[in-house]
Amino acid sequence: MRMHFLIIAFCSFILCSCSREENNVTVDDQTPIVSSNWEMLWSDEFDGEELDLSKWNKLSWKPGWVNNELQAYTDRDTNIFLEDGYLVIQGNIEPGYSGTDYVGNNYIADYTSGRVNTDNKFSTTYGRFDIKAKLPSGKGSWPAIWMLGESISSLGWPDCGEIDIMEHVGYDEGMIHGSIHTEEYNHMYNTQRSGSKYVDNVTDQFHVYSLEWSPFYLRYLIDDEPFFFVYNDSNGDDGKWPFNDPHYLILNLAIGGDWGGVQGISASAFPMKMYVDYVRVYKKSDDYNYVQVTFKVDMSNENVNGSGVWLSGGDLGSGQPGGIQMSLSENSNIWQTTLTLAPNASYTYKYRNGYFPNSWQGGWEDVEGNCSFGEHNNRLINIGSADTVLIAQCFGDCLTCE
């Protein structure tokens, strides 16, 4: 992505035909994902004989504690263990298993599994999170790599904030999901912001699931390729962005439940195993500087919808389908917004006439020709290390308005 600024400007402003190869990279143990922009803050390589309990907690929960999941979470070495340099979280079918949860409740379960977190042992605000994992296969599996705000004990969920770096359900193998849950944006209101990407061989090969978390955005990546983006346009509203406070990490394998069990549970898939090669957390280096990009669109040839113009679509869409509101420049037909973004990166986007939060239909510009990219004809911009102001192109066109 590193290019001379003049080349970037040419690609962005003149909107030449730019291409970006789509691929699914299998990362080997010798290839680092992150660059010198990041410095190691915390990690676990799982190279010992037992899980490091100075870093992790093993949870003990009864079935149905959340999401109507069917497994009991236990701290047994049949559900959580290290093997050949990997953390293994294993789901087992154990009809009639009896146990006791962390508050002393007795239960009977037909499935057991594992859940670990770093609560009260490690939490942080902002940074980059890389988790290299191979996921279980089989209907009923529901592995997750995610984070919760430390304030959950005082504020409760979802006010504390939840960041789902990776979720996968076995009946839809290969479809990886990322999302957030907050007071304003959560699945109870069908307002959660989420994105998905299909990845080959997630149950046969390791992939690196990553999050870049800044005060300005959450950027989700798989094998260092971005697939989802949430921009902080909350204007200080904690109900929309509770992500300026420490969060801790969670790794778990659920079985069944409201999402994982939609198509039942495959008995032949047990034992289900989620392998984790490493968890690495980085902080921003002193050399890492965000860039400001000003997006502009000329609506001279359009009747503007009463809700205004929005930057949406692509990987700047801010989730399901979301959008970032633009403002009208004084005495003109130019709408613009300035975003603080990661440097040396590429982004896809569209302009949308009006806000339609529950629909992918209506208002989209129809961009074709040498400024469109991908199956949805998005615009593409490659950002270097310098602040950028884009030329105002005509809505739905590659050129300025006549």
Just list the catalytic residues.
162, 167
188 burial via Cβ count (<10 Å: 0-12, 13-18, 19+): exposed
Q: What is the DSSP string of 171-213?
A: GGTTEEEEEEE-SSSSTTTT--EEEEEE-TTTTTS-EEEEEEE
CA distances from 115 to 62, 89, 172, 382 (A): 12, 7, 22, 39
Residue written as token pair 């609560």: 119
Residue written as token pair 């005495």: 331
CA distances from 21 to 72, 220, 313, 373, 383 (A): 43, 18, 19, 11, 17
C-alpha of 201 from chain center: 19
Non-local CB neighbours of 192 within 8 Å, separated by 6+ positions? 179, 180, 181, 185, 186, 319, 320
Nearest to 369 by CA among 392, 347, 340, 393: 393
Distance CA 159, CA 178 (A): 18
Q: Residue 386: CA atoms inside 13 Å, Cβ hemisphere, count?
A: 10
* 57-58 and 38-44 strand pairing: unpaired
Residue written as token pair 């100075």: 54
CB 115 within 8 A of CB 59: yes
